[in-house]
Every structure is written in structure tokens, then in C-alpha cells.
Amino acid sequence: MDTLHALGDGFLVALSFQNLALAALGCFLGTIIGALPGLGPSNGVAILIPLAFSLGLPATPALILLTSVYYGAMYGGRISSILINIPGDEPAMMTCLDGYPMAQAGKAGEALAISGIASFVGAFFATWGLVFLAPQLVKVALLFGPAEYFALFALAFATIGGVAARNQIKAAFATGIGLLIAMVGVDLQTGVARFSFNNIHLYDGIDFLVAIVGLFALSEVFVFLEHRAGGGVDATKVPLGRSMPSAKMLGHVTPAVTRGTIVGFLAGVLPGAGASLGSFLAYMLEKKVSGRKGTFGAGDPRGVAAPEAGNNAAAGGALVPMLALGVPGSGTTAVLLSLLLALNITPGPLLFQKHPDVVWGLIAALFIANIMLLALNLPLVKIFVRVLQVPSRYLMPTVAMVSFVGIYGISGSSFDLLVMVGFGIMGWLFRKMDIPLVPVILGVLLGKLMETNLRRELTISDGNWGALLDSPLSIAIWTCAILGFVLPLFIGRFIRPAAVNNEALDSD
Amino acid sequence: MKITDRILGVIALGIAAFFIWRATLIEEPFISDPVGPRVFPIIICVLVGLTGLGLILKPDPEPQWPALATLLEIGAGTAVFVAYAELLPLLGFVIATVFAAGYLAWRLGATLPKAALAGLAISLGIFVVFHLALGLNLARGPLGF
């Protein structure tokens, strides 16, 4: 029962006044970020990371703030899905299908309550899953040497590219570009400059926070400029109806919530599949199991409960590989990983050994945040409905300017701002061409680590490349990597939604 | 016509070739590990080059490129951001941000007076929250804000 003991210590960390306040703030901001179309978990968290960093928050409070935002966004997305039929973020896309018809039938309040409770259940059990699964994964990871880590990074790239992208070639291209960007700057092992073109700013390499904020947040501003989409939506006039579902109704949706939670959690743990895929799979499964009467798509409450349990469970599940292995499986966890790296904390098994207070404090905070979110999203949901009225012509300039403030706060250099603008344009072009952005981010984040592990292994083996495939463990990981990349080419259309495109991948 | 992805493929090949060339120019240090600083970048370039070939051979259907006017809109937005980045240390945060945020609000459909007001509100709002309340360093212009 070491785990529960550690979790108990975690609660002592999380229950400090500062951490509780940060969790509450994160939940509030996260729900807003999730609810507003145009701001999702990945770009919302991306904007906040440089700010948390420049404000000098220590690791635990910073992580608590940002993962609360992450959990909160998973709750918030459903609000706009249900009320205005526009998903607040991509993981909430499936919730539109039955949530909006329910709202049209005057049952918006009930839909919001059912999805809120489903979100709570999904997140609650996924956090328990994290508690028990992560330490097991850490035990395996402790056996890893450099060769296994090198293989593991390859696995992350292969599955993110293979499972989640529509065009594997483009995902591989995006990975390559990200890795190449990571190569810029002084080589850590030998101290020689690489690809710096004698530019003093490039000697230090390209800051991954600059790349992330540019690719995720600023590119969104360009998308809004492209579509001249400046309006707001008045959802305050949608009649909410009764706001608490009956016990009978809750019993009716319980099996859907259970299935959604399990499917979502598994989808979250697997590398390459984030919350969007979690909610999609949960919805499709529920439709297969209980949708024979054709009620799905016409306001079936189970069609609201399953995907919301699914995406919240996936959000918790996605934290497992990020914390235990240091390898993120989705866009938002990649962004969270960048926070750890910026704070000079290496995630992975050592994190659990060296900084148990960080890990368990974070996990305990997630339990607390989840309860706060339930409170925010059931009785207080009307506040967030009002926030939706803010027109994006005022929202997006604010997003852009806060992005600049965060990046400027890190280094105080105009050069970084210019690089960020460059990444913003690149992000817009990539989205136009259907090139996923998450592999770019992952490449930028993991490139140096991947190279370090490769060179460490070859130093140990004295230059023998065969050492990379010397252990059964690394062979197994490479096999998974190849399968993860190749199999979706054949079975991809069965597991991938036609409507969920690369942008879905980008925003969870 | 699937020209976009083919052009992208050619660009990818160009990137691969250019960076392989640059990688061979990386000076080889006296003491190094068996791999050295050149090999991994070259491996990545080969990957990028292969994806370039793949894009040329198997391009996706053409994406929906916006009309020229919209491209100009994006271009103008970029120019404003670049100008903002350059002028920030000269003008100071508050003044530079009023213009940049106001411009964006205007282009997203606000009337000019409302956009000016929005620029002012966003700039002062961020200044109050992030600088006065949270103590974050913003760019100081000649006027100190």
C-alpha cells in the first residue's frame, strides 16, 4: 500500500492554501478555455505555460495550475457543444451529436448536468487509474537503458503519426521538421554549434515554448483572421429546463458512462490517441451497444454521457505515459511536458523517485480539482454560458497579446517574438495542408533527448549500432512502433472518424 | 491538380539536401563519442527527404487555399506582428499593444472606434493584471510602461 501512502502525502501537499487556490483558478480558467470555441486545452495550456514560468511558480504549483486547466477544458467543451452546436474544443465534438438535439427539445439543463456528472465519473476513475497504473509503468521503465529509451521515443512518434494522423507521410514529415528544429544550437555532448548560421540567438537553440505558443496559439489567431470570424454567440436565451436529472435517468446512463470511462482511459494511455479519439471511440461503442433503436443523434442522453466520460477519462489516462515515461501521447500532454522540461524536471521514472512530492501532489490536486469542477459545472454553469457571449473579435486579440507577453517574459528578446510569429505562420500553413502539428511539437521537445540516448548507447557499445536491438525489451518496443505506424494504414478507417481531422489531434 | 503537396515534397527534398550539406560542415571536435554531432541530424534529413519523395508520389487532394484578398489579410497580420515584435522595446508595452490589439479587433470585424477602445482595454487590462498584480516584466518603453 505504498501507493496509497504516497497519495496521502500528496494530499498534504495539495491541501496547502496556495495550491488549492491555484487549482480553483485553473478549474475556472480551464472551463472557460474549453467552452470558448477557438481556445482548446492545448492552446490554452500553451499560452499559460510561459506565464507560469515567467512568474517563477515552483514545479508543483505550476503543474497543479496547468493540469487543472487541462481537466477543466475537458469539462468546458461540452457547454458550447450542447447549447450552440459548436464544440468548444475538439474533444467535445461528439457531444454535439446528441447534446444539441436535447437542448432543442428544451432539455439543455439536463444534458449539461448528465454530461457534467459523466465528466466527473470519467475523470475520477481515470485519476485512480493513474494512481495505480503509473507506478507499475515506472517499475518497467526502471529497466530501460538508453537503447530502450531511444526505441520508446520512436514508438511515440510512430504511433502519434500512425494512429492519429490521416496521412502518415505528412505526420512523418512533421516529425522530421520538429526533430530538425531541435538540432539547432550547441551540441550538448561536444559543444560544437549546429545549424546556427553564426546567429548568436540560435546558439542556444530554439526555445520549445516559443515553438509551442507560435504553433498552437498564434496560428489559431491566423485562422480567425482568415475566416474573418469575429462574432460571438448568445447562448443565454437557450432555455435550460430542469437542471438535475432524475435518479431514473442517472440509472439509465450509468452503463454508458462506465463503458465510456473504460474506453476513454485506454485510449488516453495509448500513445498517439488523445481525448478526441477517446470521446469518439466511447460514442461509437455506445451507439453500437445500445443505439439500435435509432435514438442516437436525436437527443439520446447516453450519447451525451458516453463521449463526455470518454474524453475526461482519456485526459487522465494520457497523463500516465507522460508522467511515468516522459513520453506524451497527445498534444496537451506534450505541452504539459514542455512545462516540466522548462522547469528542468525530467519526467519519467526518476521523477517518481526524486520528486515524489511533485507527482503525488499533482495527482492529489487532480482529485480535488475534479470535485471543484463538478461544483463549477453543475450549479454554476450559467456563468460560463455568459462567457460565451464575448465576441471573438475581442477574445482573439487578447489571446494573441497574452501569447506575446508570455514569450517576452521568458527572455525579453524581440528575436524570440519574431521566431514565434514565424511558427504561427508555419502552423497556419501546416493546418491548411493538413499536416499535424503535434508531431512537430513532439520532435522539438524530444529531439535532443532522443539523440542523447542514441549516442549514449553507442558510446557504451563502442559504436556498434546492433546494440540498439540487443535486448528483448527494445525489440518489443521497436515492434510496437512499427506496428503502430503500419497497422493504421490498413485498419485506420475503422478506428478513425471521418470528420475528426488532424485539428482534432492538435487540440487535445 | 494536386500541386500543393508536390511543391511541399520538393521543398522537403530541398530542406533535406540543404541540411545534410550544412551537417557535413559541422566541425568534428577532437574528442567525440563514436556517433558525433553530425550523424543524427543526417538521419533526420534522410527521413525528411523520404517523406518529400512520398509527398511527390502520393499527394493529397488540393487544400482549399483562400482567395488573394484573404492571403493579403494573413500577410498584413504577419506584418503587424513583426512590427509589434520590433517596436515593443522602443514604444513600451502599453502603447505598442494598443495598436496591435486594436488592429486585430478591427480586422476581425469591430468598427474603428470600438476597435480603438478594445485595443486600449486589452492593453491596459493585461498591464494591470500581469504587471501590476502579478509582477511580470513587460517591455518598458521610454515612458516606463
Instruction: Average the pLDDT over each of A372-386, A410-424, B41-55, B73-87 and give the range with the smallest value.
Output: A372-386
Domain count, chain B: 2
Q: What is the predicted pLDDT for the residue at A1?
A: 62
Say if B142 falls within a structural domain: no
Yes or no, beta carbons of A195 and B65 under 8 Å apart:
no
Do B21 and B48 lie in a common domain?
Answer: yes
Residue B33 lies in a domain: yes
The nearest CA of chain A is from the CA of B18 a distance in Å of 11
Q: With CB atoms and an 8 Å threshold, state whether A221 touches B63.
A: no
Contact B15/A at CB under 8 A:
yes
Residue B93 falls inside a structural domain:
yes
Name residues 52-81 of chain B within 8 A of A (Cβ).
52, 54-55, 58, 60, 63-66, 70, 73-74, 77-78, 81
> Sorting pLDDT into bands at 50, 70 and 90, what band is B140?
confident
Structural domain contains residue B92: yes
Beta bridge partners of A186: A193
The pLDDT score that the predictor gives to residue B11 is 95
The residue with greater pLDDT, A407 or A497, is A407
In a domain, B139, yes or no: no
The better pLDDT of the pair A505, A458 is held by A458
Q: Residue A492 pLDDT > 70, yes or no? A: no
Which pLDDT score is estimated for A380?
A: 84
Residue A504 has a pLDDT of: 41
Q: How many CB atoms lie within 10 A of CB A44?
A: 29
pLDDT of residue A487: 80
Contact yes or no for A154/A175 (Cβ under 8 A): no
**Total CB pairs under 8 A between chain A and B:** 202
Residue A185 DSSP SS3: strand
B117 or A494: which leads in pLDDT = B117
- Whether B129 and B79 map to the same domain: the answer is yes
- CA nearest A216: which of A377, A76, A89? A89
- Domain region containing B112: 68-133
Same domain membership, residue B86 and residue B50: no
pLDDT tens column, A294-319: 788 888 899 999 999 999 999 999 99
Q: Which residues contact A365 (CB under 8 A, 6 or more apart)?
A: A10, A13, A14, A19, A23, A63, A64, A67, A68
CB contact under 8 A, A169 and B58: yes
The residue out of B57, B82, B103 marking a domain boundary is B57
Distance from CA of B21 to the nearest CA of A (A): 10
Task: Examine residue B21 and state whether it is found in any structural domain, yes or no.
Answer: yes
Residues B14 and B36 in one domain: yes
Tell me: pLDDT of A501 over 50: no
Same domain, B50 and B73: no
Task: For chain A, give every domain's residue range.
Answer: 2-506
**Cβ-nearest to B19 among A180, A230, A404:** A180
Same domain, B87 and B113: yes
* Claim to verify: residue B21 and residue B75 sit in the same structural domain: no
Contact A414 B105 (CB under 8 A): no
DSSP output for A40-54: -HHHHHHHHHHHHHH
List the single residue in B with minimal CA-CA distance to A462.
B34
Quick check: B85 and A404 CB within 8 A? yes
B40 pLDDT band, cuts 50/70/90, is very high
Could you give the ipTM of this predicted complex? 0.94
